[in-house]
Structure 1
Amino acid sequence: MRVIAGISRGMKLKSPKGLNTRPTTDRVKEAIFSMINPYIIDSVVLDLFSGTGSIGIEALSRGAEKAYFVDNNKNSIHVIKENIAYTKFSEKSTVLFCDAQKAIKELCLGANKIDIIFMDPPYLKNLILPTINKIEAQGILNDDGIIVVEHDIKDSLPKEIGKFIKIKEKKYGNTLITIYSEEA
């Protein structure tokens, strides 16, 4: 696993040992960033269910201003911090050791507004809808922001979730990338 583009291009990232994480493949990561390229520069991103930090680090490498990394696994948090330090993005990064719901609430209390929310929860665990509902309830996404969800093809997502509308969806093997926005 590596950083694909930007100022940290080609840098190899670590992964936690074991089977608890499923890092996004380079092919899927490239597809995600091709779809959302106009949103990246100077954005504030939230990498929920962060695992290795690969997605948030890719966003920083491509010009995002700030990234929040969230995971509830101690080993993942350790690897995320190592990867952030290695790519020299410590000053632009905040790592939260908690579950996604708690992180969203904490970010709301801090009056943080996010431009891009990346979600790559464990597949088929029914975490997507409750998380997006929490994002809406806490109002942490900017009006022109987007939510990028990486999920299993068996985990079909509705066209609308609250005020968010599905604006794009692409299949890559057994993985779907679904993007939501308030805009149609």
Structure 2
Amino acid sequence: MRVIAGQAKGCSLKAPRGMSTRPTSDRVKEAIFNILGERVPASRFLDLFAGTGGIGIEALSRGAEHATFVEKGNAALKALSDNLARTKLQDQGRVLAMDVFRGVEWLAEQGESFSLIFLDPPYARGLAENTLQAIVARGLLAPGGMALSETGQRENLPEKVGNLLRVRVAVYGDTAVHFYRDPGNSQG
């Protein structure tokens, strides 16, 4: 696992041993950021179920203004903090050590919104759709923003979640990435 592009390009990222964390593969990560393209620079990025932080760190490396990481697992939190330090991106990142739904609520109470939101919950537990619904209900996605959910390839998500419209599903082996956008956004 490594940072693919940007200021921290080539930096290796740590992951805890075992199956409690399933980092997004470099192949999937590279494809996601190729699709996002110019949306990333200067964005405010939210990485939910952040694990080791690979996606949010990639966003920071590629020019995101700020990234917030929400994760509750102790081993993943340690790796995430280490990864931010080893990439020298810790000043642009904030780590919230809490459950994702509590994190969504807390961020909304602070009046925060994000132009890009990525979520990678445990597969096949219904958490992807529930998290998207919470994001919509609490207004965390900025107008014109995009939310992405990584799921298992066979996990179905609805075409519409609240005001978000699914505009793309990209499949990479056993992994699918669902791209949702605010309907007021003119970019696809």
- Structures share fold, TM-score greater than 0.5: yes
The Cα shift of 1:80 comes to 0.3
Report percent identity of matched pairs: 40
Three-state SS of the structure 2 residue aligned to 1:9 is coil
Unaligned runs of 5+ in 1: none
1:109 offset after TM fit, Å? Answer: 1.1
Taking the aligned partners of 1:69 and 1:182, their CA distance within structure 2 comes to 22
Tell me the equivalent position of 1:131: 131
AA aligned opposite 1:163: N
- In structure 1, what is the equivalent of residue 39 of structure 2? 39
Task: Tell me how far apart the structure 1 counterparts of residues 17 and 27 of structure 2 sit (CA, whole Å).
Answer: 22
Per-residue deviation, 1:157: 1.0
Give the CA deviation at 1:106. 0.8
**2:142 aligned partner:** 142
TM-score by structure 1 length? 0.98
1:92-171 paired onto structure 2 within 5 Å: 92-171=92-171
Report the CA distance between 1:17 and its aligned residue: 1.6
C-alpha distance in structure 2 between counterparts of 1:110 and 1:68, whole Å: 13
Give the Cα separation in 1 of the matches to 2:69 and 2:121: 13
C-alpha deviation, 1:158, in angstroms = 1.2
CA distance in 2, matches of 1:138, 1:158: 19
SS at structure 1 position matched to 2:11: coil
Equivalence for 2:10: 10
Secondary structure in structure 1 of the residue aligned to 2:67: strand
Moved over 6 A (4+): none
CA distance in 2, matches of 1:172, 1:181: 21
Displacement of 1:90: 1.1
Q: Deviations over 1:80-110 (max 9, x none)?
A: 0000011011111100111111111111111
For residues 120-160 of structure 1, what are the alpha-carbon distances to aligned partners after superposition, in whole Å with 9 as ceiling and x for unaligned?
11111110111111101110110111001111011111111
Q: Distance in 1 between matches of 2:178 and 2:34?
A: 13
Counterpart CA distance in 2 for 1:172 and 1:49 is 20
Q: Report matched runs for 1:82-101 at 5 Å.
A: 82-101=82-101
For residues 135 and 5 of structure 2, what CA distance do their matches in structure 1 show?
A: 29
Gaps of 5+ in 2: none
1:170 is paired with a residue whose SS is: strand
Across the aligned residues of Structure 1 and Structure 2, the Cα RMSD in angstroms comes to: 0.9
Calculate the TM-score normalised by the size of structure 2: 0.96
Amino acid at match of 1:172: Y
Matched residue type, 2:159:
K
1:62 CA displacement: 0.2
Paired with 2:55 and 2:162, the residues of 1 have a C-alpha distance of: 25
